[in-house]
Structure formats: structure tokens, C-alpha cells
A and B are shown apart, each in its own frame.
Chain A
């Protein structure tokens, strides 16, 4: 059974700084890993999906990496902005490519 952990649960960073969010998973036999963003009271927005054959995936100021051997993924946010404040969740599939198990998220606050 897949277990996903995100540490820290909350993070506050001054505007303009670069930051890294961490995600670890127990079952490394995954085909992919996804990062999502959730604003308060809203649904989830998909940010990046990394295939197991990739090591990194980039979208604008966001860069996600995947290291299956160590069971870790990171989400790097460059030049943070107040609009980046949200909860960030990573999700890994069970049994390679089936239902997703989500981490509990990191609540990010960017301080203007």
C-alpha cells in the first residue's frame, strides 16, 4: 500500500525567495507522480506530472524532480510571489498506475 508523506506541514517564506517542497513515498514501483495546488475551500489544480522515465518536469517557475530509488520528489518554486500561497499536495499511484494516494500537503505562505 502506497504511503505519501510531506514535510513540513506549513512553510512561510518572504516574497522573492526560492523554495523547495518535499514529498516522500514508500512504494517506488510507480509510473508517475503528480503535484497539485489547492487554494482554500477550492478543488485541486494539477501543476506537474512526472513520468517515471523522467527526472524533472518544468512549468514556468515550477520545477519538479523525481527520484524513484530514494522514494522522493521535490517541487522547486523560483522567485516566490504572494499568489503562490496555497497548499501543495503530491500524489503517487498505488500498484504502479492505479488510484492515487495523496500526501497531507504543505501549506505555503509567501510573505509580501
Chain B
């Protein structure tokens, strides 16, 4: 079974630009979550999608948005980039097993904002 695939792996943008990151979940997984990881704040939850609907949302400004397609692939978008948006963005696909939400993470997309 292929794992969670995130593209691109690395990218550099400048302030004010926008960026779109993609995540392909494990086949059969319908839930996709996004996390931002920075040295100062650690891993912070952005949002979760299930069957094309946003099911949970973290405390991030409206510049951060996402969507999920019918094939469960997900994208997240950050508009009007700020220096503080530089981070590793991690996507996880999940399934329910014995009542637990079991997450499998991708390798991440490392965004640098200059």
C-alpha cells in the first residue's frame, strides 16, 4: 500500500505570495488532516477533512484554507504569505480502528517564506 504523498517537498516563496500544497492519502482513507510544525510552536492542528467536508478546524487565520476532492486528495492554500508561515506542513490520512483515529503522516512540505 502506498503511503501518504505530499507535494511539493520543498518550496521557497516571498512575502505576499500564495502557495498550494497537495496531499494524496492512503488508498481507502477518507480523512485527511493538516498540521503546521515550527521550532517555536511545535505541531499545531490546521484542519481535518472527511468526505470533502471540513470536520474540524484549528486556530489559524482565514489566510489558511483547504479542500478535499472526491478521490480524498486534499489541498491546502495559504494566501498573502508572511515570514512566520515558514514551516513544515504535514498531512496525515487516517482511518478508525477499534474506536481510535489512526494517523499516517506524509513526509511533509517544507515552506520557506523570504
Mark A residues whose CB is within 8 Å of B.
31-32, 34, 36, 41-46, 49, 51, 89, 91, 93, 97-105
Contact = CB atoms under 8 A, between A and B. Distances in A.
A99 B18 CA distance: 26
6 contacts: A32-B101, A41-B88, A43-B107, A46-B102, A101-B45, A102-B42
Q: Which 3 A-B pairs have the closest CB atoms?
A: A102-B43, A43-B105, A44-B105
A9 to B, nearest CB: 11
Interface residues of chain B: helix, strand, loop or mixed (majority): strand
Contacts, number: 57
The SS class assigned to the A binding surface is: strand
Interface residues of B, number: 25
B70 interface: no
Given A43-B108, A44-B92, A99-B45, 13 more contacts: A31-B99, A32-B100, A41-B88, A43-B4, A43-B90, A44-B90, A45-B105, A46-B103, A51-B98, A91-B43, A99-B58, A102-B35, A102-B42
